Structure 1
Amino acid sequence: MSTMTALSKAEFTLLGRNRVLLFNAVVMPLIFPVVLLVVGSRGGSLEAAGVSAALEIFALFLLVFLVYYNLLSVYATRRDELVLKRLRTGESTDLQILLGPAVPSLLLTVILTIVVGGVVVALGGGVPVNILLVTVALVGGAALFAALALITSAFTRNAEAAQITSLPVILLAMVGSSLLRSVVPDSLARVVDLTPMAAVSDLLNLGWFGNTTAGDASVGFASTFTEAGMPALVMLSWVVGSLVIARTHFRWEPRS
């Protein structure tokens, strides 16, 4: 624990010194959903569709910018500067070295989720039907996109290259959001349902509204666990698959 604390503290310090990453980590996930919620509340109580859109925008920016892109840049930079290689010569295990940079993102995920959830409730957006599923959606989503960052870092030479290598995952995340899934042809709907962000979106909507589409009838607290089976399985499959690939392809030092 002392090793993890030291590594995490160092990453928090470095994150605070990097204004670009700090802006992406804190401001980007908050500004758009909060503005959308405030504007939607001017006419009275928030509508379910508006709350759903705000929550999904929050989840998208949170997981893509705070977790995925931030960790991708960190892993690529630490490898390029031989930090990872030097850490492996000390007492830290490989798992601790990889988890250290992820701790700030995971803690900020929890904090920002509490903030946005509090804003939704304060503005009259209702309370979650199943708060456990909301937690699983965002914390599990953070673990998923952290694992994707490990894979992407294998072919990302440095932080500058991350702007290009991250595009496929960012586009995949955008397609999986229900805001865009509604316009996807039916022939591709089942494929899109298997994408990472689709699983996060379905679990988030089930946890907050009791259904996967805002406006549909709520299935109630107990039934949400049954409905969450498929998206939870998709999320777990992505996490396990990504970690298996990262275990064999992750690079600890720059290419010679």
Structure 2
Amino acid sequence: MAAPPRCHVDRPLQGGDVLELPSGAARHVQVLRLQPGDRLRLFDGRGHPGQPGGLDWSAEILQMGRSSVQVRIDSAEPVNRELPRPVSLALGMPANERMDWLVEKAGELGATVIEPLVCARSVLRMQGERAEKRLAHWQGIAVAASEQCGRARVCELQAVRSFRDWLRSPAETDPAAARYMLSFRPEALGLPAALAALAPGQGLRLLSGPEGGLSPEEEAEALAAGWRPLSLGPRVLRAETAPLMVLAAVAAQG
């Protein structure tokens, strides 16, 4: 028997609640041609106290309208498909669909936070309303990634910022996390050694440049701010590939 479809609902969930699914989840249910009495699994992506991952909620479809779906929430099941340590990515945004792809794959691989940056060598540059629309688009991609891969949490997309604004006032979501910057500097620490030096459960913050990498001035500023250079080896990886290599290595630790 196939597993019930899984949908994200951006509100706290509780057993016994009867609610209307948000428009995206409702469309998904209708495309699948589900009917009253069919089952779903819902998650809010927020995590829960005492749960290292989060909760999946079993739900029954009560009513199907032309554009609405009403469900009743039943029981919860703990789900933990998170990395052995939280990983946040500060990314010089790659251009066009490459950023979409990076957000999707980073969400599947377990990234906790993505901080999109406009760097000196960035091809993709945006601000204001355009940046807000792209941010909402990327957050939707992150939601779909968690629905697909079974995570009970959703990777958080933070506001688009310039590199220097971000460096001067970083959003310290995890002050105890180790901070590493991808670099070809000769003194850069290798990835295996960097991961081995982390304490159990210690978070990791990764700074990665856009196409062409960070400029020498940006690297110098990051070093002065306490970011340590990190090497992924002699190969030059694409801007959308390098951060995923780090996430995959962290996943292998678990």
TM-score, with structure 2 as normaliser: 0.26
Greater share of strand: 2
TM-score, with structure 1 as normaliser: 0.26
Greater share of helix: 1
Q: Which has the higher contact order (CA 8 A, sep 6+)?
A: 1
